[in-house]
Chain A
Amino acid sequence: MRKSSPGSVRRAFQPWNDPAAKPLVEFRGVTRRFGAVTAVGDLSLSLYPREFFALLGPSGCGKTTLMRMLAGFERPDAGEILLDGVDITAVPPHLRPVNMMFQSYALFPHLNVADNVAYGLKREGLPRVEIARRVEEMLALVKLEGLGRRRPDQLSGGQRQRVALARALAKKPKLLLLDEPMAALDRKLREATQFELMDLQSELGMTFMVVTHDQDEAMTMADRMAVMDHGKLVQIGPPDVIYEAPANRHVAEFVGDINLFEGRVAAIEGDLVKVETSFAGTIELDEEAPALGVGEPVLVGLRPEKIDLGHDEPIGVANKVAGEIWDIGYLGDFTMIQVMIGGEDGQLLKVALANRTRRIARPFAWEDKVWLSWDIEAGLVLRP
């Protein structure tokens, strides 16, 4: 068991670690180019049944193209896409057992809510009674009973999102795609909806794939997430692994806040790595079976919430450095403090302090001389 990913055993559900598990969706070497731009490059990925998968990346990283290829709106230039073991690369969108919730919701403005939800069912040629029953069922599922005769423009943003969800779920797809599902909702509603969506997913036992640029959204909802950049998957894994053991500098910086120290490996003693840095002295960290050589240039990453702050020099800690407070940002639930280490031309570090008590007069002030310290298990080594 990897020490650096303490949360990865938390859930029993992890078919991606089971070699016998059959994936629901498989991308095999998929490439999609737009002119000279490669939106998705030679990408392979497997999604498993009942998985809640999040695709995270900045805008333009290719995540939307990847989703649209799954829905059938884009054709790969190379590679193949399999659904339930069947090659669907050339299957047009209307014949795929995959449904999508659009970012704009794409509710038909000329149809009322019930007709919107019934649209896909009518295409299947189901009997009228059956359609009516399913529409009722779906509206109840998303708690919109009695609003069937409303027009989309008579609904609130949250209600519209629910209609879009009900419409996409009505056909009981093997896979539901959600394109930035929360982008149009305000913050409070977003949080509530995230949990509702998770409940719904486990209740229905469906596979969900969410595309988002919002890391909180991805980390809250997903069993597994993939970080995408420039058409490539940089890292795939459960949210805690992505956060605590990012594969490279890009992931470390994209997901959450991180302080990075440039340095060189000074010594390796078993699992203990010592890195010589210019501003923070020698940093000691615990790294299981480090594939590193002495003298190799590396980056040490340190998340702001893993640093302790005090006025007095701490005793008996592995890592400590002195500095001066440059800036204090009060954010309510925690305070983000910027500390300059190594003098005027040194390095600014971010330190997050949880505000555990209601105290207006805070213990730290601008220009305070302070000590920073952290555990040997707080930092991580990254290749530059």
Chain B
Amino acid sequence: MAVSVATSARRLVVAVPYLWLLLFFLAPFVIVLRMALSDAATALPPYAPHFEGLSTIGSFLSQLDLENFSLITDDPLYWQSYLYSLRIAALTTLIALGIGYPLAYAMAAASRRWQGLLLVLVILPFWTSFLIRVYAWIGILRPEGLLDMVLGGLGLAGEPLRLLNTETAVLIGMVYSYLPFMVLPLFTTLEKLDRSLLEAAADLGSTPLTAFLTVTLPLSLPGILAGCALVFIPAVGEFVIPDLLGGPDTVMIGKVLWNEFFSNRDWPLASAVAIVLLIVLVLPLVLLQRARLARGGAA
């Protein structure tokens, strides 16, 4: 009796989240795919689906409409914004790594008592709203904003910098928002690093610099990879930062999707953009995972 209750409880543990995800994750995903293969229509919902139900898969396949996808590849707006998103995400990742590594290294080198506080200080901004953090930079970067004021006060800049609505502003906002994602995994790997390894390296004749290059850096590689993935992935699809800090020429793909959906009301095209965005994101992830598995298999 008790056994059968336990067994059904065990089944529920899997079944409940499973059903939820099938319903609210997989089903929507299938709908997006279907939508991407539909024609835009003016009626609300603004699309004319190409097939109804699974029984018509045959007829569906025969009249597959790749029009939206060909539009994406033909119109330079789309593929340019994809490339631009990748570029911004890559730059963000590199800059965040450049700032985050020394920061994480210094945190790991600090005494235990300080480490706890520093860790909280890195995590704390994450708990404050994303919008707030971006908004703070608008106040700083806008013409006659804080930055201009400070630089003017120091006599360093004669005229306003006009940073807001530029690529620089987007990069600053991105790096600022995603820096904790870079610092946290780096700190975790650096903090775990066995100090006696560095002592051993010194004992065997390494200078601090060569010890860093030959011991610390290779051993922190997993942290570097994790941090880069955590920054790069959300950065590609980012919408809010380029929208608020960027200008007309900083068109990232997340914003294109938003505009297609909300402004142009072209749901099928927005869906196609979403599918391509996923492919762009998932491919490098799969490759990364493959590489990791291959390394694990060799080790």
| Chain A interfacial positions (CB closer than 8 Å to B) | 92, 94
Which of B1-23 touch A at CB < 8 Å?
A: 2-3
Which of under 10, 10 to 19, 20 to 34, or 35 or more describes the interface residues of B? Answer: under 10
* Residues on A with beta carbons closer than 8 Å to the beta carbon of B2: 92, 94
- Across the two chains, which residue of chain B brings its CB closest to A90? B3
3 residue pairs, one from A and one from B, having the closest CB atoms: A92-B3, A92-B2, A94-B2
Compute how far the CA of A81 lies from the CA of B180 in the bound complex, rounded to whole angstroms: 56
Q: Complex formed: what's the CA distance from A92 to B4 in Å?
A: 11
Give complex CA distance A94, B3 in Å. 10
Bound-state Cα–Cα, A92 to B3, Å: 8
**Complex: A94 Cα to B2 Cα, angstroms:** 10
Q: How far is the CB of A297 from chain B (nearest CB, A)?
A: 45
A-B contact pairs, 3 of them (CB 8 A): A92-B2, A92-B3, A94-B2
Tell me the complex Cα distance, A144–B249, Å.
75
Using Cβ atoms and an 8 Å threshold, which residues of chain B touch A92? 2-3
Q: Taking CB as reference atom, which chain A residue is nearest B3?
A: A92
Chain A residues with Cβ below 8 Å from B3 are 92
Residues of B close to A94: CB separation below 8 A? 2
The complex places the Cα of A92 from the Cα of B2 at a distance, in Å, of: 10
Compute how far the CA of A94 lies from the CA of B5 in the bound complex, rounded to whole angstroms: 14
CB nearest neighbor in B for A91: B3
Return the chain B residue nearest A92 by Cβ: B3
Compute how far the CA of A92 lies from the CA of B1 in the bound complex, rounded to whole angstroms: 11
- A92 smallest CB distance to B (angstroms): 6
Min Cβ gap B26→A in Å is 31
Least Cβ distance of B253 to chain A in Å?
46
Question: What is the CB-to-nearest-CB distance from B71 to chain A, in angstroms, rounded to a whole number?
Answer: 52
Q: How far is the CA of A94 from the CA of B6 in the complex (A)?
A: 12
CA of A92 to CA of B7 in the docked complex: distance in angstroms?
A: 12
Q: Tell me the smallest distance from the CB of A293 to a CB of chain B, in Å.
A: 53
**Alpha-carbon separation in the docked complex, A33 to B3 (Å):** 23
Task: Give complex CA distance A252, B3 in Å.
Answer: 45
Distance between A87 CB and nearest chain B CB, rounded to angstroms:
16
Q: How far is the CA of A362 from the CA of B193 in the complex (A)?
A: 49
Q: How far is the CB of B161 from chain A (nearest CB, A)?
A: 57
CB distance from A253 to the nearest CB of B (A): 34
Chain B nearest Cβ from A60, distance in angstroms = 23
Chain B residue, CB-CB nearest to A95: B2
Complex CA gap A372/B2 in Å reads 68
B7 to chain A, nearest CB (A): 10
A303, B3: Cα distance in complex, Å: 53
> Smallest CB–CB gap between A72 and chain B, Å?
12
Give the shortest distance, in Å, between A6 (CB) and chain B (any CB): 51
Shortest A93–chain B CB gap in Å is: 11
| Smallest beta-carbon distance A320→chain B, Å | 53
A107 to B15, CA, bound (A): 32
Give the shortest distance, in Å, between B8 (CB) and chain A (any CB). Answer: 15
Contact string, B220-258, partner A, CB cutoff 8 A, digits 1/0?
000000000000000000000000000000000000000
Tell me the minimal C-beta distance from B103 to chain A in angstroms: 34
Contact mask for chain B residues 121-163; partner A; CB cutoff 8 A; 1 contact, 0 none: 0000000000000000000000000000000000000000000
Per the bound structure, the CA–CA distance linking A354 and B2 in Å amounts to 60
Considering only residues 245-295 of chain B, those with a C-beta below 8 Å from chain A are none
Instruction: Please give the distance in Å from A22's CB to the nearest CB on chain B.
Output: 29
- Separation of A308 and B2 alpha carbons in the complex (Å): 65
B10 to chain A, nearest CB (A): 13
Q: Considering the chains assembled together, what is the distance between the CA atoms of A40 and B275 in angstroms?
A: 52
Complex formed: what's the CA distance from A370 to B2 in Å?
72
Q: A58 CA to B146 CA in the complex, in Å?
A: 71
Interchain CA distance A310-B3 in the complex, whole Å: 69
- Shortest distance from the beta carbon of A94 to any chain B beta carbon, whole Å: 8
Q: Shortest CB–CB separation between residue A95 and chain B, in angstroms? A: 8
Q: How distant is A26 from chain B, measured CB to nearest CB, in Å?
A: 23
Bound complex: CA A60 to CA B259 (Å): 62
Contact with A along B36-70 (1 / 0, CB 8 A): 00000000000000000000000000000000000
Q: How far is the CB of A272 from chain B (nearest CB, A)?
A: 59
Nearest residue, chain A, Cβ from B6: A92
